[in-house]
Homo-oligomer: A and B are copies of this chain.
Amino acid sequence: MTNTKIRVGIIGGAGYGGGETIRLLLNHPQAELSFVHSRSNAGNPLYSVHADLQGDTELKFTDTLQQDVDALIICLGHGESKKFLQDNAIDARIKVIDLSQDFRLGESVQGRSFVYGLPELNREAIKKASNIANPGCFATAIQLGLLPLAKAGILKEVFATGITGSTGAGQKLQDTTHFTWRANNISAYKTLTHQHLKEINQSLKQLQSGFSDAINFIPWRGDFARGIFVSSCITTDRSLDDLKSIYKDFYAGHPFTIVSDDTIDMKQIVNTNKCLIGIEKEGNKVVVHSAIDNLLKGASGQAIQNINLLFGLEETTGLKLKSIVF
């Protein structure tokens, strides 16, 4: 624990990921929000975009890129992060946490190489890293549901269905986020072709080197704003007790990922940085349910968790969030 606070700037602060990152940093006891960069909103107070911040801060968006920070969290769209780092010279000593998918598969830019920022997989590497590629939301939920099986070397073909809230589709107005359409509705998209499959496979192979089976993943759009719930079905002869031990051992010491002995539901973790895991077994099939908040453990919360690790803070600092529950 240090006396001086970690100084953090945000690039692309007007979207959902940026907003959540702002909210977390405003309440973080050992980090401070130095600036929030947004070209289109420069000069306006943060609450002109994030209206819930009225009364919390008078900080304004800026279009000036400040270098007197310890870390930058980049909350730009996919493709834009790489371009931003190409177009702007960032001091080498500034650590970068990027929320896009631009650097999750080993890509580098301007001499910066990135560690895949899933603490349950790469905690020690993250602590020593300079740059972090923050995992995708579905990628986080699915990996946390499968990593212990890969570590045990018993992962086989996976059949997973996951559902995500509308915030997963971002702030842009689109047909599938029109309230009238989405309310009380369920639909599938990117069936078997979700872009997160690559980073999931990369992680699974990191633990179970020969793994080459398919992750058959069917994503659904849910009629709620926040949260992800995934059920993954895998064939195994291991007993339920064995499996629970494998999971509990794997996540021992990881404060945010909890293996529950009860049935789980998504709202237990909404508005928190937790991942909750439930395991059931019938015949030779195990079903692993995993739930996260897509904007927190699936994005901004995990970014702050990575900040904590990068700067030697207690991993949970600023992340003990009251769940919404109801």
Contacts and interface: CB of A to CB of B under 8 A. Distances in A.
Chain multiplicity (copies): 4
A238 interface: no
Interface string A183-220: 11111110111000000000000000000001010101
A287 interface: yes
A192 B283 contact: yes
A186 B55 CA distance: 20
Contacts of A186: 163, 222, 224, 227, 229, 265-266, 291
A32 interface: no
Contacts of A74: none
Interface of A: 16, 19-20, 23-24, 26-27, 50-52, 54-56, 159, 161, 163, 165-167, 171, 173-175, 177-189, 191-193, 214, 216, 218, 220, 222-227, 229, 231, 233, 255-256, 258, 260, 262-272, 274, 276, 278, 280, 282-283, 285, 287, 289, 291, 295, 320-326
Contacts of A229: 186-188, 220
8 contacts: A20-B325, A27-B320, A55-B255, A177-B180, A178-B178, A184-B225, A271-B322, A271-B324
B192 A180 contact: no
A264 B184 CA distance: 14
B322 A24 contact: yes
Give the interface centre of A26, A166, A193, A225 by most chain B CB atoms within 10 Å: A225
Contacts of A226: 184, 324, 326
A144 to B, nearest CB: 13
B325 A50 contact: yes
B180 A178 contact: no
A218 to B, nearest CB: 5
Nearest to A192: B282
A223 B220 contact: no
Contacts of A159: 159, 216, 233
Contacts of A161: 161, 218, 231
A222 B266 CA distance: 11
Contacts of A52: 267-269, 272, 323, 325
Contact of A183 (B166, B181, B187, B216): B166
Nearest to A168: B180
